[in-house]
Amino acid sequence: MAMVAYIRVSSIGQSLEAQRDKMLAAGIEPGHIFEEKRSGVDSNRPALKDALRFVRKGDTLAITKIDRLARSASDLLNIVNELKAKGVELRVLDQSIDTSSPAGRAMLQMLAVFAEFETAIRAERQMDGIAKAKEKGTKFGRKPQATDDVVSSIRQMRTEGLLIKDIMKATGLSKATVYRALGGAEGEQQGAAV
């Protein structure tokens, strides 16, 4: 009967150290800690799959918080059912949940619903923030590579008879960007004779 840990953060810039320290403090051996830096909504989480394959009957899978394991109630319940079928319990350290008791299983299900609700609210707030930013004129995405000076230069080169491929080479821009600089459909007509 071993304690096995799964720890996760959503992005490369975040640190696993705090979660790792909690697991070590709980007495989990370093070789039994599975960790990864991936989004919780990503269904392809190799370290989680490895942890679920590694645990055996009588083991306990430990996580720090429910949202480290799953982002939706249905995903969490699928994982819990998979663990249950293998005879493995789940322990959530920060929320003091242990699925070896009926009260622990009930609390886990309630917290999963709240976690999913919180994720939905956060997404809604994010969309509201994006809409407000757009209303204020904030531009999203990459900045255009073809500035006014570059567009002028591209048009001058084309007027001088340079082929599209030569303009691309000279500016380091893609064919689509060069055509846009030449005026879209008009640029495509000019470029037809490339």
Per-residue pLDDT of the chain (194 residues; tens, 9 = 90+): 889 999 998 877 788 999 999 999 999 998 899 999 887 777 788 999 999 999 999 999 999 988 888 867 778 888 888 999 999 999 999 988 888 888 888 888 887 778 778 878 888 999 999 999 989 988 888 777 778 888 999 999 999 999 999 999 999 898 988 998 898 644 444 444 44
> CB neighbours (10 Å) of residue 45?
20
- Between the two ends of the chain, the Cα-to-Cα distance in Å is 71
Q: What distance in Å separates the CA atoms of residue 69 and residue 153, rounded to the nearest whole number?
A: 53
pLDDT at position 114: 80
pLDDT at position 184: 60
pLDDT at position 187: 43
Rg (CA), the chain: 27
pLDDT at position 188: 44
pLDDT at position 167: 92
- Provide the pairing of β-strand 3-9 with 97-98: unpaired
pLDDT at position 186: 47
* Alpha-carbon separation of residue 140 from 125, 130, 136, 143 (angstroms): 17, 9, 12, 8
pTM of the entire predicted model: 0.58
Q: Is 15 a catalytic residue?
A: no
pLDDT at position 82: 92
Catalytic annotation, pick one of 10, 11, 15, 96 = 10
pLDDT at position 193: 46
In DSSP terms, 98 is beta-bridged to 91
